[in-house]
Structure 1
Amino acid sequence: MRRVRPRSALRLDLRLLVPVVIAWPVVAFWGLVAPVWLVTTAAVVALALGVLTGVAGTTRRPSEQPGARGALPRGAETRAPRTAGRPGLRAVAAAAAVLGLLLGAAAGHRAVRTAGPVEALASDRAVVTLDAVVAAEPRAVRGSGPAGAGRPAPAVTVVRLEVSQVTGRGRTTSVSAPVLVIGRGPAWTAMRWHDHVRLVVRLGPAEPGDDVVAVATPKGPVQVVAGAGGVFEAADTVRDRFRSATTALWPDARGLVPALVVGDTSQTPLDLTAAMLDTGLSHLSAVSGSNVTFVLAAVLWLCGLVGVRRRWRPPVAALGLLGFVVLARPEPSVVRAAVMGLVGLLALSTSRRRAGVPALAGAIAVMLVWDPWLARSYGFALSSVATLGLLVLAQPWGRTIARRLPGRLKPLGPVLAIPVAAQAVCAPLVVPLQGSVSVVAVLANLLAAPFVAPTTVVGVVVALVSVLWVTGAGWLAWAAAVPAQAIAAVARWSADLPFGSIGWGDSAGAAVLLALLTAGVVATAPWAWHRTRHRPTVALAVVVLTAGVGLPTAPIAWPPPGWAVIACDVGQGDGLVVDNGGGHVVVIDSGPDPAAMRSCLDRLGARAVDLVVLTHYHADHVGGLAAVLELPVAEIRASPVLDPPAEATRVARLAAAAKVPMGELRAGQQLTVGAVTADVWWPARRIDAGSVPNNGSVVLTMHVRGISILLAGDIEREAAAQVLKEAERDPRLWGHIDVLKVAHHGSSNRDDRLLDRVDGRLALISVGEGNDYGHPAPATLDALQQRGFEVHRTDLEGDVAVVAEGGEVRAVGR
């Protein structure tokens, strides 16, 4: 006889998860930015409410009191619940208690971090001496300014420090404050996690709600006072020897094996990182919950193989997990992965599966108490949601898929269900980051999944062997290199597939819409499958209609009718084209690559260039000039700030070789080129603060077809303040502005007062996909969104055209 599982065993226990989900956004969007005293008050009120409602919810009703009318007969108490209670009040009590706990933790952490003078010194931009501990692995990125001809971009290293002592303004104070330092030079890259350092910096304020108290710029060399010591020093030695053991591998494997095992991405090729991001495989190139699950599963399997008794296996697994966390560095991301890995392993246990959701909710609550700023972490949100999808959806979907597979393929049901479930629950969270929905993510994860476990497990063995014998570990590393190379091949192949993603938008509304659509599809899928089997013609018609609506048609009809300005997709740089009628155009900057600029001009059918404006001489704005000069060019006008000199010289030579006259643009000048006119606002002088080339950018308002566009170049705060002063002197010249070309690819080094002066609500950001500058900065996107701007980005939409149609100004992506 078939065994029927009781209904209660199929229900999800959401009693703790729902309060955590309610409290999470309150902490993220209010508890970390509101005044500490107000957050503390709210925490006390919530806890008090939780206690009162909890007591009321567990009080027995009058009918259940002994001796009351209708009371239970003597002896029946053992059969009835001890307290019937009120489920609604208990739910309110749980939500209030969790909210009070998390708000109290946030207030406590913030009070500790802001105690002392660091925040005030940062507001004054004071120069101070810090004694600190390196709290996270130094992260090297390219400099804020592009490279000149024959010169690499200056190295920039971002380091998070936990400051223990600050000396400034004649006082030395003991503190506990996280500070983000942006340094240059090999000394910063050479620092290790948990090194004790002393340095002189200029402090600056952090963004509200940031997980650091201040941002610092070094004013001298950093001094390493002491190393991590003890077990952490030993872990560093293992990491170094592990890195040495993998140096002979293929480039992709040399980057991926350390990345999957210990989160070391320093050797991963940039193009592979971009491909994995595009295909939804980026979670593999860092320590994640799946890696932890594989390691724990391998330890438990090894325990069974060598005959370790069952009761001793959990302590051995815990010890293995502790060693793995120490090896990968116990930073917040690694600790988060370890916790989610434990919950994931619980989800795979048939005997404890029902405890999975409460365990996940408890883990989230504990992590948010430990570090409330995880509430603002996309990585933490993705890990939590992915684990929830594994707990709730993977097994029933796996069973459903297995029933429809041939006999020998039925074991693949759960394997196929895991990436599908993860993509379904994570897609709404990924949309605000990428602005698109990956179509190939599920396929890429399915193809890569068989290679993740062997790479991780063999990689851990390589790391351990390297402690005793680096050469032997190097031979063994090839066993991990083969599956790692397969993962890289899947990422690169999937990234090259046409229509690999669907543009969706990066707003909160777009994310909510995708979440609702996903929930609707999941809820109606069984009904749709049933109807499809009985009415295949209707199903085919729906598929054809959806494909007809969803497939992109813009490339066929490009440029759109009525276009005035197009921001070309030239990668990490600026390249804009203004229509001047009859195939004639005006070009503002030419991007970093001649091929990309040439393709854009060809798509627009440009036959002649009436004017080229070069806002400044960074390579990402003038690198593609040679392609523009392949067309007849009437004139080049550029910034008078000839910095960097090598690029300025190269541009002058190109202009001379093409016999194109070249001049300067300065504040106060006006231009008229055919139907296009412009007012130049900057530069009026050279600014030596900040980036000299960026602050020397040409800033102008261009008027074409009744549209006014503010082209802000790459100006930073200093130049933006001067532009605003010029505008205040004669507001009539500033006039109405319809479109803003956001400065410096959306860098956070900005002056928001410039945004306030723009009347229109259309913003263009010319930026490269997967760039490692962090452009556009989340803070800049937030500032634009708060002011109601409709943001369009070339990294997400390709070429972006500004169109004037029926008195309306709108943007169209290619």
Structure 2
Amino acid sequence: MAATGVAAWAGGLVALLVSGRGQAAVLAVAVAVLLLLVRSRRPSLARLAPAVVGWLLVAAAVAASAGLRGAAVADGPVARLAPMRPAVEARLVVTSDPRPLQGRYGERMLLRGDLTALAVRGQARSVRAPVLVVGDAAWADVELGSTLRVHGRLAPADDRDRAAVLTTAGHPEVLAAPSVWWRGAATVRASIRDAVSARDGPERALVPALVTGDDHDVPEQVQTDFRTSGLTHLLAVSGTNLTLVVGFLLLVGRWCGVRGRWQYLLGALGIVGFVLLARTEPSVVRAAAMGTVALLGLGGNGRDRGIRALGVAVTGLLLWDPWLAATVGFALSVLATAGILFLAPAWTAALGRWLPGWAAQAVAVPLAAQLVCTPVVAALSGQVSLVAVVANLLAAPLVAPATVLGLFGGLVGLVVPAAGLALGWLAGACAAGIVAVAHRSATLALPAVEWSTSAPSLALLTVLCAGLAVLLGPLLSRRSTGSACCLLLGAVVVVPLPSPGWPPDGWVLAACDVGQGDALAVRAGPGEAVVVDAGPDPALVDRCLDRLDVERVPLLVLTHFHADHVDGLAGVYAGRRVGEVDVTSVRDPAERATYVAGVAGETVTATYGSTRTVGDVTLQVLGPPPGVSAAGGPNNASVVLLVEVRGVRLLLTGDVEPEAQAALARAWPGLSVDVLKIPHHGSRFQDLDFLRGLHAGVAVASVGEGNDYGHPSAEVLDPLADAGARVFRTDHDGTVVVTAGDPPRVVTED
């Protein structure tokens, strides 16, 4: 049955990712292999032919399902209308909770839904089409399962499983409230949050994430620590959640005398209740299926039963939703479950020769899941975690009680609120332990090593993981070699190892490669840097500062409050001491200014014209001038810094636009620098006379690869190059580092 699941997965991938000619070529190869098996004179090969026919039929069924579903979405009336971007009135059934999305025009709400009726220019029709809905803040309270009347505009969707994007504003009209099932699930979710309300720390938000995957309020710093330490799976709905909840329910059932077929019924009810509580999105159904496989893998003959169940689950899920085949979450769930079923039993037996059974299983299960998933995780993050197994091992004893107590605290709290608060307090105590494990693991000397995401590098990593899978059994079976492996991993994680050639000797400025945003570090001394801006990804900001060996940030300057300059703020605070935080006088957008205040606490408004020295760094504030207001836009209110460090003059410009640049030219005539941080990621809207007049020998654009804004523009880069500047951009060059010298030298990461 495992081979059947692989065939189903392959059929889905071919249907979704391979063109028509490629699909024909794959089919021809499959038929050729089948004919060779049929005509083979070796009986062992000939006997494979019926199985291969079955696998091909399964793959064809999934591919056909993908084709039919794709055609229904792409060729339907909604998808055909979307390129014309018409204004519409629609009836919408909400199929997901709204999630906040920070965009360039402020916070928006993102949710999924099904259109059931559509009116365009007065002509109404019945439809059935899945759409992505983008609304304003008024949509924050929309309930899953409700039916709405909305007015908005259609646009083409990037996701193939969505017919269109519906953009709307204002309060929608509720035509029908959610069913009693959805209302009941929402009540329990709210009760879980109430049960942990007595806790003050991040565990207050972590318990709902553990129980239902509701991670909306988990602090950025905690999310960063979880990513670095390999515990991110705890923040999303996974098979582990269902295994813990339903497994505990079955134990209670046995204690109450439930036996035989009644246990299967109790387990089925538990699975349905879990899916309702965590929502019926594809990721939740996938997690429920993998959790069911894990439950079937428990007990006698569990491994064989679990492997058969895995094949059935993969095939069933892909027939239900073929688009899962190309999603990362599906790959990680299937691979982790397969690793636990195929590898963990042998490793548990090997470790059991010199460890207690419970300890052997506690080590083998996370090790198997982590090893199998490592190539996929590396492709996503560019890192191979060295602490994930240890962090999961330490967190595992706390996850079960935090999850179970959190759930039952919410359920009991519906009847006896005081008892619910008591259970929630205990769940929060366990969750606080998980937070501590994640933070301690993330702040070790070498929690992860960087790994290239190129195809050859990932292929090499896959081969290394496969080799480890073969070798670990014999190595772990002996006390001496098993202990040596643990000691070696501990030494690598705890003892700092120098990164060859990085950071370059004499570095003074680093423009970090953090995607579409700014994060700059100016070296103030050994282990110290002044950081200017921190966006948009906390993990990337943290990784850049780690590689620069920055342990202390005596001064942090946020030029303005756009998300691409502040949303990675938690990454600066990850394991570092941060001193004063300077900001612009214009607190716009207000929600991001509130976010900054929540992370950084007290801030100081940068004073125009002031000069200060921090270690080796001297900074002068050249903008914004007094009296600047939000009317000119947040970009023009950016803090502009003239920095001198070890004889190198830098101009750090935030996102100032032509009006503010012209004002700088008038206020500071004759200004010249060695290095220019090109304003606004190299946008084409610049005062080129001002930029050329700086006579910078180096110009850097901090920009994300493939961004939607057209940054950086050749209309800006070419004139700067013609004026004598060496132009660098983080999307092509990676992190750009300037070192002291006359002239300054530039070293790039890529």
TM-score, normalising length from structure 1?
Answer: 0.69
| Corresponding residue of 1:242 | 192
Secondary structure of 1:665's counterpart equals helix
| Corresponding residue of 1:425 | 372
| Corresponding residue of 2:143 | 192
| Corresponding residue of 1:128 | 88
Once the two structures are superposed, what CA deviation does each residue of 1:673-724 show, in whole Å capped at 9, x if it has no partner?
36568999977769xxxxxxxx99x99999976x775556999856769x56
Separation in structure 2 between the aligned mates of residue 112 and residue 288 of structure 1, nearest angstrom: 30
- Does residue 112 (structure 1) correspond to residue 111 (structure 2)? The answer is no
Secondary structure of 1:90's counterpart equals helix
- Does residue 290 (structure 1) correspond to residue 240 (structure 2)? The answer is yes
| Corresponding residue of 1:749 | none
- Does residue 348 (structure 1) correspond to residue 344 (structure 2)? The answer is no
Q: How does 1:172-211 map to 2 (within 5 A)?
A: 172-185=124-137, 187-207=138-158, 209-211=159-161
Secondary structure of 1:16's counterpart equals helix
Separation in structure 1 between the aligned mates of residue 671 and residue 641 of structure 2, nearest angstrom: 24
Task: Give the drift of 1:283.
Answer: 1.4
Q: Kindly tell me: are residues 719 and 389 of structure 1, through their superposed partners in 2, closer, same or farther at Cα, counting changes over 3 Å?
A: closer
Once the two structures are superposed, what CA deviation does each residue of 1:179-224 show, in whole Å capped at 9, x if it has no partner?
2222221x311111111122222233222x5432323322443222
Separation in structure 2 between the aligned mates of residue 237 and residue 443 of structure 1, nearest angstrom: 36
- Does residue 358 (structure 1) correspond to residue 308 (structure 2)? The answer is yes
Task: Give the drift of 1:367.
Answer: 0.8
Q: How does 1:574-723 map to 2 (within 5 A)?
A: 574-576=518-520, 590-591=532-533, 620=565, 623=583, 630=613, 631-632=617-618, 636=622, 645=632, 664-665=660-661, 673=672, 709-710=700-701, 723=713
| Corresponding residue of 2:99 | 139
Separation in structure 2 between the aligned mates of residue 476 and residue 104 of structure 1, nearest angstrom: 49
Task: Give the drift of 1:486.
Answer: 1.9
Q: Kindly tell me: are residues 653 and 588 of structure 1, through their superposed partners in 2, closer, same or farther at Cα, counting changes over 3 Å?
A: closer
| Corresponding residue of 1:167 | 119
Corresponding letter in the other structure for 1:155: E
Corresponding letter in the other structure for 2:157: A
- Does residue 19 (structure 1) correspond to residue 13 (structure 2)? The answer is no
Secondary structure of 2:408's counterpart equals helix
| Corresponding residue of 1:228 | 178
User: Is residue 102–residue 563 contact of structure 2 (8 Å, CA) maintained in 1?
Assistant: no
User: Is residue 59–residue 85 contact of structure 1 (8 Å, CA) maintained in 2?
Assistant: no
Secondary structure of 1:156's counterpart equals strand
Q: Kindly tell me: are residues 703 and 49 of structure 1, through their superposed partners in 2, closer, same or farther at Cα, counting changes over 3 Å?
A: same
| Corresponding residue of 2:60 | 100
Instruction: Find the partner of 2:458 among 487, 491, 511.
Output: 511
| Corresponding residue of 1:89 | 49
User: Is residue 113–residue 132 contact of structure 2 (8 Å, CA) maintained in 1?
Assistant: yes
| Corresponding residue of 1:265 | 215
User: Is residue 241–residue 466 contact of structure 1 (8 Å, CA) maintained in 2?
Assistant: yes
- What root-mean-square deviation, in Å, do the aligned CA atoms of Structure 1 and Structure 2 show? 5.3
Secondary structure of 2:60's counterpart equals helix
| Corresponding residue of 1:316 | 266
Give aligned pairs, total: 670
Separation in structure 1 between the aligned mates of residue 661 and residue 189 of structure 2, nearest angstrom: 53
Separation in structure 2 between the aligned mates of residue 800 and residue 532 of structure 1, nearest angstrom: 47
Corresponding letter in the other structure for 1:284: L
User: Is residue 622–residue 641 contact of structure 2 (8 Å, CA) maintained in 1?
Assistant: no
Q: Kindly tell me: are residues 648 and 225 of structure 1, through their superposed partners in 2, closer, same or farther at Cα, counting changes over 3 Å?
A: same
- Does residue 335 (structure 1) correspond to residue 285 (structure 2)? The answer is yes
Q: Kindly tell me: are residues 700 and 201 of structure 1, through their superposed partners in 2, closer, same or farther at Cα, counting changes over 3 Å?
A: farther
Deviates more, 1:619-628 or 1:127-136: 619-628
For the pair shown, the structure with the greater C-alpha radius of gyration is 1
Separation in structure 2 between the aligned mates of residue 52 and residue 350 of structure 1, nearest angstrom: 41
Separation in structure 2 between the aligned mates of residue 464 and residue 481 of structure 1, nearest angstrom: 16
Q: Kindly tell me: are residues 508 and 255 of structure 1, through their superposed partners in 2, closer, same or farther at Cα, counting changes over 3 Å?
A: farther
Task: Give the drift of 1:559.
Answer: 3.3
Instruction: Find the partner of 1:459 among 406, 414, 418.
Output: 406
Q: Kindly tell me: are residues 647 and 427 of structure 1, through their superposed partners in 2, closer, same or farther at Cα, counting changes over 3 Å?
A: same
User: Is residue 127–residue 203 contact of structure 1 (8 Å, CA) maintained in 2?
Assistant: yes
Secondary structure of 2:295's counterpart equals helix
Q: Which runs of 5+ in 1 are unaligned?
A: 1-12, 64-82, 146-153, 605-611, 687-694, 743-761, 765-791, 793-798
Task: Give the drift of 1:298.
Answer: 1.8
Task: Give the drift of 1:456.
Answer: 2.3
| Corresponding residue of 1:812 | 749
Separation in structure 1 between the aligned mates of residue 641 and residue 737 of structure 2, nearest angstrom: 28
- Does residue 445 (structure 1) correspond to residue 392 (structure 2)? The answer is yes
Once the two structures are superposed, what CA deviation does each residue of 1:587-617 show, in whole Å capped at 9, x if it has no partner?
9993159xx99x99x989xxxxxxx998998
User: Is residue 195–residue 420 contact of structure 2 (8 Å, CA) maintained in 1?
Assistant: yes
Q: How does 1:520-535 map to 2 (within 5 A)?
A: 520-525=467-472
| Corresponding residue of 1:10 | none
Task: Give the drift of 1:403.
Answer: 0.7
Corresponding letter in the other structure for 1:89: A
Separation in structure 1 between the aligned mates of residue 29 and residue 635 of structure 2, nearest angstrom: 67
Corresponding letter in the other structure for 1:340: M
Separation in structure 2 between the aligned mates of residue 666 and residue 589 of structure 1, nearest angstrom: 26
Separation in structure 1 between the aligned mates of residue 88 and residue 399 of structure 2, nearest angstrom: 46
Secondary structure of 2:132's counterpart equals strand
| Corresponding residue of 1:4 | none
- Does residue 740 (structure 1) correspond to residue 690 (structure 2)? The answer is no
Q: Kindly tell me: are residues 368 and 801 of structure 1, through their superposed partners in 2, closer, same or farther at Cα, counting changes over 3 Å?
A: farther
Separation in structure 2 between the aligned mates of residue 299 and residue 221 of structure 1, nearest angstrom: 40
| Corresponding residue of 2:510 | 566
Separation in structure 1 between the aligned mates of residue 33 and residue 488 of structure 2, nearest angstrom: 51
Once the two structures are superposed, what CA deviation does each residue of 1:407-444 show, in whole Å capped at 9, x if it has no partner?
xx343211211111111111111112221111111111
Task: Give the drift of 1:99.
Answer: 2.3
Secondary structure of 1:403's counterpart equals coil
Q: Kindly tell me: are residues 718 and 433 of structure 1, through their superposed partners in 2, closer, same or farther at Cα, counting changes over 3 Å?
A: closer
Task: Give the drift of 1:501.
Answer: 1.2
Q: Which runs of 5+ in 2 are unaligned?
A: 536-540, 551-556, 567-581, 585-605, 643-650, 654-658
Secondary structure of 1:251's counterpart equals coil
Q: How does 1:381-420 map to 2 (within 5 A)?
A: 381-405=331-355, 409-420=356-367
- Percent identity, aligned pairs only, is 31
Secondary structure of 2:352's counterpart equals helix
Separation in structure 1 between the aligned mates of residue 384 and residue 639 of structure 2, nearest angstrom: 44
Separation in structure 2 between the aligned mates of residue 98 and residue 132 of structure 1, nearest angstrom: 34
Task: Give the drift of 1:59.
Answer: 10
TM-score, normalising length from structure 2?
Answer: 0.74
Secondary structure of 1:165's counterpart equals strand
Task: Give the drift of 1:344.
Answer: 0.6
| Corresponding residue of 1:255 | 205
User: Is residue 87–residue 154 contact of structure 2 (8 Å, CA) maintained in 1?
Assistant: yes
Separation in structure 1 between the aligned mates of residue 564 and residue 37 of structure 2, nearest angstrom: 67
Once the two structures are superposed, what CA deviation does each residue of 1:315-360 show, in whole Å capped at 9, x if it has no partner?
2211222122222222212211111011111222323421322321
| Corresponding residue of 1:155 | 107
